Amino acid sequence: MLLSHQIRLDPTPAQRDYFARAAGTARRVWNWALAESNRQVAAGQKPNAMALKKQFNRVKYSDPDWLDDDGKPWVRTIHRDAHAQPFANLAKAWSRYFDQRCSGQPTHRPRFKKKGRCRDAFYIANDKFRIEGTEAVLPKVGRVQLREHLRLPGRIMGASVGRHADHWYLAVQVEVPDHVARLRRTGDGITGADLGVSAAATLSSGEKIPAPRPLAATLRRLRIRSRRQSRKLEAAKAAAGIQGPIPKGTRLPESKNRTCGARALARLHARIARVRADFMHKLTTRLCRENQTIVIEDLNVRGMLANARLARVISDVGFYEFRRQLQYKATRYGIRLVLADRWYPSSKLCSACGDRYAALALCERTWTCTACGAHHDRDVNAAVNLQRLATGAHAAQTALPVASRAVTPGTAASDGLAGDGKVTPARHEHGQQDGSGQEENAAHLCARFR
């Protein structure tokens, strides 16, 4: 099993300078290769990463664009992995673009990277570095202090050095043996989890887990620092005599005040991301550790983010990140993840009698069933209905390492494996409601996670 461990570095000023130059080299090589491949696509050809790499190797020591002021190739001061890996990354980007385009999915071409607008990072091959305790021996810079030991045993496959705000991190990819990567569960429950805005997740047990929503908590401070930085940028443009957009290729003179403001703004953004990631990891780990089956909805997050009134709140909670983490942790804990069809009316079905309240509005947080008189909390009712998608299949079993293939009779469900963790797209438990035309997509939904 391939896992990654991200460790914070404590580099010296000289090492920080090299990291920044290596990341800039990787970014510039990516832009050069993308410009060349765009010419090939415009001519009706398919980009070839190996041919682009050979073309770059022919010009990187002689072309004036790749020489310093003394006429020497500055690429020699950077380890070759930093300017070799962008070609492989670009090949994957083009392959993904053509595959999604052929399948009819919304997609876009690979984009150019701009300094300050993309993540600074570069790749190091597994045979070019080693880790000794709390030190990493990296090419060109020697020993760099680590904040902690590498926690994953196994064969190192590679690493990348990247920057978050003003801190540098080493992300090590390790091939961990399966028996070591597997984690033990503390319970064998079956739970449904309904994602929401007021509560990040509502469980079928009735527990509501509030989201920290770090963006909303620090939005005022974020706006203040953003305005300060914007004013400093406008002052720099006025000093340079520039009105309107900055012309392409123009570099504004840097001031310490503007540099410090940019770092403070970046640190605030990084803190928001860390708080959200910490909460999401703790929540998903807890669910995987305490249950053998988890049922969630297959939400159309891309479509939900198109709603301008809800986009910020949904992004602050992290709907898709919740699902992404459950998918890979299901493999480590050996659990089953059931994806309810996005047209499944989990909120509108009465969990007591199965009657459907079709007129349920988004603003109604509680409702009473007209058929049986049961009073429901909207989110708890949805979580219970999601749980019943799995319990209907498990009613005849007591302890299950895996669930059966049919969620309930008459539903469209099939298995997709990810190691021993299983992802099951499911439709309805209460029979056919109103045909949504999604039955034929069950195999497609399953294939996406294989």
The model's pTM is: 0.82
Query: What are the CA-CA distances from residue 328 to residues 244, 278, 299, 415 (Å)?
Result: 46, 16, 18, 16
Positive or negative CA dihedral for 110, 115, 116, 119?
positive
106 by DSSP, 3-state: which?
coil
d(CA 329, CA 324): 9
The residue written with tokens 């963006």 in the block is: 215
Q: What is the pLDDT of residue 438?
A: 38
- Which pLDDT belongs to residue 389? 86
- Contact criterion met (CB below 8 Å) for 144 and 185: no
For 279-374, where are the E strands, in sequence order? 291-297, 336-340, 366-368
Determine the pLDDT at residue 420: 52
Q: Are 30 and 86 in contact (CB under 8 A)?
A: yes
Domain limits, the chain: 2-181, 189-209+290-309+317-447
**pLDDT of res. 426:** 59
pLDDT at position 372 = 87
Is residue 357 within 8 A of residue 348, CB to CB? The reply is yes
Q: What is the pLDDT of residue 106?
A: 85
Which is it for strands 121-125 and 130-132: parallel, antiparallel or unpaired?
A: unpaired
Residue 86 confidence (pLDDT): 96
Residue 428: count of CB within 10 angstroms of its CB? 23
Mean pLDDT split into 10-residue runs, the chain, 450 residues = 95 96 96 94 87 93 90 93 95 93 90 91 95 95 96 94 95 94 92 91 93 94 96 91 85 89 94 96 95 92 89 92 94 92 88 86 87 89 90 42 32 37 56 39 37
Joined tokens for residue 87: 């070609």
If residue 145 lies in a helix (H) or strand (E), which one and from where to where?
A: strand 142-146
Structure tokens at 198: 């007021």
Beta-bridge partner residues of 202: 194, 208
Residue 22: the pLDDT is 97
pLDDT of residue 182: 93
pLDDT, residue 392, reads 67
Return the pLDDT at 408: 30
Q: Alpha-carbon distance 163 to 102, whole Å?
A: 35
Give pLDDT, residue 11.
97
DSSP string spanning 219-249? HHHHHHHHHHHHHHHHHHHHHTT--SSPPTT
> What's the CA angle centered on 138, arms 137 and 142, to 5 degrees?
65
pLDDT confidence of residue 423:
65
Residue-level pLDDT at 243: 87
